[in-house]
A and B are shown apart, each in its own frame.
Chain A
Amino acid sequence: MNIKELELKATEVRCSIIRSLHAAGSGHPGGSLSAADIVTALYFDEMNVDPADPKMKGRDKLIFSKGHAGPAQYAALAVRGFFPEEELLTLRKMGSKFQGHPNMNYVPGIEMSTGSLGQGFSAAGGMALAGMLDGDPGRVYAILGDGELQEGLIWEAAMSAAHYKLDNLVGIVDHNGLQIDGRNDDVMTVMPIADKFRSFGWNVIEIDGHDMQQILDAFAAARACKGRPTMIVAETVKGKGVSFMEDQAGWHGKAPNDEQAEEALKELGELMEAQKKALTA
């Protein structure tokens, strides 16, 4: 899949996020949309996964440590063919396998139940440790929120991944700068993110998290790095792709109503048409 095709897929993923959150009536659009390009690059280019065999031996694994953005992972898995996209309309409803935060025992392709911040990253380290022990070719990816970096467990896990030289582990910080109570810098500053991980012994790559080429290049550079885990610090925009949601802390944990969903899907639909035209041009 070329860059333009991946960009189109990312828009499909964004549409799916809006549809499922609108149907749910609650959830976290801002941080789901900011991670959409990264998660699309992972499922459609970087990762070795098989929708027909979600537990395939030697597969790559993605853990959404920022579990509240699980709808982005659900959407990417659906678009990738792990399950029909219509199922996502049950998101957050009684009896649905699509819980408000992901449950690994319900949803094919979900590798870890997350939601309590910091824990997915720690478990990802354990999975990478197991992979190293077994000589498993699979790589482990973990998407972290920037606010999530305020959890002490993140730094315990960062320390141990470097200690055990887990070069099969790649973290991606979705640095959209916002958390529930406002800007990271006002709540509890997490800067300088890159320097912090560097000082913990990580290979750090800084990119624009909405530039597909930069995302792919970063994953390639992570593969080439031996003896150290890699942290990709991705500069992103919360709510990316839906103009009225962009860079608004208020869209961290609020679902769009009927009108807002329609407006968002209209905007994304226009983008999709333009992307399709660009593909055939």
Chain B
Amino acid sequence: MTEKIATRQAYGEILPVLGKEYPDLVVMDADLSGSTKTAEFRKVFPERFFNMGIAEQNMYGQAAGLALSGKIVCASTFAMFASGRAFEIIRNSIGYTHANVKICATHAGITVGEDGASHQTFEDIALMRTIPGMTVINPSDAVSAKKLLRQAVEMEGPCYVRLGRAAVPVYYKEEDEIILGRGKQLRDGKDLTIIATGIMVPDAMAAAEKLAEEGVDARVIDIHTIKPLDEEIILKAAAETGAIVTAEEHSVIGGLGEAVAHTVVKKCPVKMAMVGQQDVFGESGKPDELRAKYHMTAEDIVKAAKDLA
């Protein structure tokens, strides 16, 4: 059976490693360090860890000040409060100044589960990708999360890194090359392309296998970097397969689906379907139950692909 690890866990593991390599790295949290896993950094580098209390706006404001003074800042809270509550501070104090802050936001999407709708954000990718100069990353598993977090810390400028609460399958191998800003084709196919991001990537692969049994040859691409978007791999897929299904644990408004549509409509319009949260709030439940109810599973991708064909 495939090993399962939450991407937030990967974040907690890579932080002390990066902290050792980068003396200027500081980490901030807003009273959720056990959940976001920044506590792993605090244990090793307490003098470079700042708990800002339950005050997300001030955390990102202070993160800007630290970054503009030469620090690399990873500032974490739940994705809901990072992207939502602190949006305008991130926009003006981090985005507009191009401060070197990595907004490492955990507990994104429906897989927050039992905490329910107040904590399940489907808007964060949409909000963050509208900020000029903001890099938006949504890793799909623990291995790619670590590789992308390292690249986020190594690059200059603001990043939003979307991480999850639930344990998800680890399917990348250490030797796999994951490059920030470049999509990863996981499976070739000629009939249509499934473009997935975050934890929907393994579901996209499962869907492609199911479709193959039914004679549909699906290409699968992991778009772990939503901004800057790898337009080349998307346009190539559009031209070669003629149809695209996007899959994301995020609202179909403003997320990966619309980013892909924006790209293909300009140069190579093709039929598209979008799997994701359909403009409704979530509710309490187990992550898998919720994914089934809100139509973010491999079966939903298969259905969308068939409807498109």
Using CB atoms and an 8 Å cutoff, list the residues of chain A in contact with chain B.
103-105, 111-113, 115-116, 118-119, 121-131, 133-134, 136, 152-153, 156-157, 159-160, 163-164
Q: How far is the CB of A90 from chain B (nearest CB, A)?
A: 20
- Contact assessment for A113 and B57 in the assembled complex, using a CB-CB cutoff below 8 Å: no
How far is B69's CA from A159's CA once the two chains are assembled, in angstroms?
21
Q: Say whether, besides A130-B71, A153-B89, A164-B50, A122 and B58 are in contact (CB < 8 Å).
A: yes
Say yes or no for B62: interface residue by CB 8 A criterion: yes
Identify 9 new A-B residue pairs, CB closer than 8 A, beyond the known A115-B92, A119-B89, A134-B70.
A111-B68, A113-B97, A116-B89, A116-B93, A123-B61, A125-B62, A129-B62, A153-B61, A153-B89
Q: Say whether, besides A116-B92, A127-B69, A159 and B62 are in contact (CB < 8 Å).
A: no
How far is B30's CA from A75's CA once the two chains are assembled, in angstroms?
38
Q: Say whether, besides A105-B98, A133-B47, A160 and B69 are in contact (CB < 8 Å).
A: no
Number of interface residues of B (CB under 8 A): 27
Question: Can you name 11 A-B pairs with beta carbons within 8 Å?
Answer: A103-B96, A116-B89, A119-B64, A122-B61, A125-B62, A130-B66, A130-B69, A134-B69, A134-B70, A157-B62, A160-B55
- Contact assessment for A123 and B57 in the assembled complex, using a CB-CB cutoff below 8 Å: no
Q: Which 7 A-B pairs have the closest CB atoms?
A: A126-B65, A122-B61, A130-B69, A156-B58, A126-B62, A123-B65, A156-B55
How far is B214's CA from A257's CA once the two chains are assembled, in angstroms?
76
Say yes or no for B244: interface residue by CB 8 A criterion: no
Say yes or no for B286: interface residue by CB 8 A criterion: no
Within 44-102 of B, Cβ neighbours of A (below 8 Å) are at: 47-48, 50, 52-53, 55, 57-58, 61-71, 88-89, 92-93, 96-98
- A125 contacts which chain B residues (CB < 8 A)? 58, 61-62, 65
The chain A residue with its CB closest to the CB of B70 is A130
How far is B66's CA from A164's CA once the two chains are assembled, in angstroms?
14
- Contact assessment for A127 and B96 in the assembled complex, using a CB-CB cutoff below 8 Å: no
How far is B62's CA from A159's CA once the two chains are assembled, in angstroms?
12
- Contact assessment for B55 and A126 in the assembled complex, using a CB-CB cutoff below 8 Å: no
Say yes or no for B142: interface residue by CB 8 A criterion: no
- A124 contacts which chain B residues (CB < 8 A)? 65
- Contact assessment for B93 and A122 in the assembled complex, using a CB-CB cutoff below 8 Å: yes
Say yes or no for B26: interface residue by CB 8 A criterion: yes
**Residue A129 contacts which of B53, B57, B65, B96 (CB distance < 8 angstroms)?**
B65
Main SS of chain A's interface residues?
Answer: helix
- Contact assessment for A131 and B69 in the assembled complex, using a CB-CB cutoff below 8 Å: yes
Q: Say whether, besides A126-B63, A126-B66, A157 and B58 are in contact (CB < 8 Å).
A: yes
- A136 contacts which chain B residues (CB < 8 A)? 69
- A116 contacts which chain B residues (CB < 8 A)? 88-89, 92-93
How far is B233's CA from A100's CA once the two chains are assembled, in angstroms?
41
- A129 contacts which chain B residues (CB < 8 A)? 50, 62, 65-66
- Contact assessment for B69 and A126 in the assembled complex, using a CB-CB cutoff below 8 Å: yes
The chain B residue with its CB closest to the CB of A115 is B92
Q: How far is the CB of B297 from chain A (nearest CB, A)?
A: 40
How far is B92's CA from A133's CA once the two chains are assembled, in angstroms?
25
How far is B70's CA from A164's CA once the two chains are assembled, in angstroms?
19
The chain B residue with its CB closest to the CB of A163 is B53
How far is B69's CA from A163's CA once the two chains are assembled, in angstroms?
20
Q: How far is the CB of B217 from chain A (nearest CB, A)?
A: 49
How far is B62's CA from A131's CA once the two chains are assembled, in angstroms?
12
How far is B24's CA from A157's CA once the two chains are assembled, in angstroms?
22
The chain A residue with its CB closest to the CB of B86 is A153
How far is B89's CA from A122's CA once the two chains are assembled, in angstroms?
10
- A112 contacts which chain B residues (CB < 8 A)? 64-65, 68, 93, 97
Between B52, B55, B58, B89, the greatest number of chain A beta carbons within 10 A of the residue's beta carbon is seen for: B58
- Contact assessment for B93 and A123 in the assembled complex, using a CB-CB cutoff below 8 Å: yes
Q: How far is the CB of A37 from chain B (nearest CB, A)?
A: 26
How far is B93's CA from A112's CA once the two chains are assembled, in angstroms?
8
The chain B residue with its CB closest to the CB of A154 is B58
**Residue B48 contacts which of A133, A156, A157 (CB distance < 8 angstroms)?**
A133
- B88 contacts which chain A residues (CB < 8 A)? 116
How far is B72's CA from A130's CA once the two chains are assembled, in angstroms?
11
Within 174-214 of B, Cβ neighbours of A (below 8 Å) are at: none
Q: How far is the CB of A115 from chain B (nearest CB, A)?
A: 7
- B89 contacts which chain A residues (CB < 8 A)? 116, 119, 122, 153
Q: How far is the CB of A279 from chain B (nearest CB, A)?
A: 39
How far is B51's CA from A164's CA once the two chains are assembled, in angstroms?
10
The chain A residue with its CB closest to the CB of B73 is A126
- Contact assessment for B65 and A130 in the assembled complex, using a CB-CB cutoff below 8 Å: yes
- B63 contacts which chain A residues (CB < 8 A)? 126
